[in-house]
């Protein structure tokens, strides 16, 4: 795990656009994404030095092949976007994605169980995925879908995710109407000592800066290239 991840309880310091690029998960999770679009995603990530690409599991092999020999990590989503799959299905999906080359897994929490107060189910769901992910020396990020949660539920989700062995908590899928907010990122940063990933609605350099200042250690966005270009233009490089 990088020093940025292991020191996740501290604010991420961005000294240059290269530092920013390394914390961006360049994302295309759209159901209509084509193979050509995934190849382009990988080309952009390589060209701009982005930290990772995040794709649906059916595209992991293609992304892994295209990024071979680069420093870009391949990530896959699990139980996406609803979080309502069986734990056994989430574990299987994560394991299959890692067989194909994924080294980061973003799983959606069981939102219904969380809202029902079934902390044990939520804990066991995350822990089961964490165990299979960590066995492959990979990272687990847990998507909370903050737009659907009360503050008490957000706090419970953060506490359970950390207890279950997650490496990051993440704001949103971006598919259920919610987006990352500065308030939610700051709330999550206070609640955990693991990493915080802001995802959903981050489209500009200003958006990225606000999320980082609020405590985000990772940014999930489909606008990574535009953000880097804007950041570089502002810096005159």
Give the tens place of pLDDT for each residue, 201-224.
999 999 999 999 999 999 999 999
pLDDT band at 10 (very low <50, low <70, confident <90, very high): low
Domain count, the chain: 1
Tens-digit pLDDT profile for residues 188-199: 999 999 999 999
- pLDDT given for residue 165 in this prediction: 98
Q: What is the C-alpha separation between 98 and 113, in angstroms, rounded?
A: 26
Residue 4 belongs to a domain = no
> Domain range holding 180?
14-235
Residue 176 belongs to a domain = yes
CA-closest candidate to residue 154, choices 128, 125, 122, 177: 122
Residue 33 belongs to a domain = yes
The fraction of the chain above a pLDDT of 70, given in percent, is 96
**In CATH, what number is assigned to the domain containing residue 23?**
3.20.20.70
**pLDDT above 90 (res 8):** no
Residue 84 belongs to a domain = yes
pTM: 0.94
pLDDT band at 4 (very low <50, low <70, confident <90, very high): very low
Residue 2 belongs to a domain = no
Residue 3 belongs to a domain = no
Residue 7 belongs to a domain = no
Higher pLDDT, 155 or 1: 155
Catalytic residues: 106, 170, 197
Residue 6 belongs to a domain = no
The span from the first CA to the last CA of the chain, in angstroms, equals 30
């Amino acid at each position: 795990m990088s020093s940025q991840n292991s020191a996740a309880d501290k604010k991420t310091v961005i000294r240059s656009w290269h530092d920013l690029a390394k914390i961006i998960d360049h994302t295309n999770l759209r159901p209509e994404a084509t193979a050509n679009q995934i190849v382009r995603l990988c080309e952009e990530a390589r060209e701009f030095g982005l930290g990772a690409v995040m794709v649906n599991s059916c595209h992991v092999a293609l992304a892994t092949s295209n990024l071979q020999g680069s420093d870009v990590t391949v990530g896959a989503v699990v139980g996406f976007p609803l979080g309502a799959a069986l734990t056994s299905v989430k574990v299987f999906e994560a394991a299959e994605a890692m067989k194909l080359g994924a080294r980061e897994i973003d799983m959606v929490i069981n939102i219904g169980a969380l809202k029902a107060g079934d902390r044990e189910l939520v804990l066991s769901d995350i822990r089961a995925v964490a165990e299979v992910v960590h066995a492959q020396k990979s990272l687990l990020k847990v998507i909370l879908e903050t737009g659907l949660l009360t503050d008490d539920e957000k706090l419970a989700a953060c506490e359970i995710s950390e207890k279950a062995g997650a490496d990051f908590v993440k704001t949103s899928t971006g598919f259920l109407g919610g987006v990352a907010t500065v308030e939610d990122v700051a709330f999550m940063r206070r609640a955990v000592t693991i990493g915080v990933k802001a995802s959903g609605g981050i489209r500009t350099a200003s958006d990225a800066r606000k999320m980082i200042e609020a405590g985000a250690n990772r940014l999930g966005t489909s606008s990574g290239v535009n953000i880097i270009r804007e950041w570089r233009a502002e810096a005159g490089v």
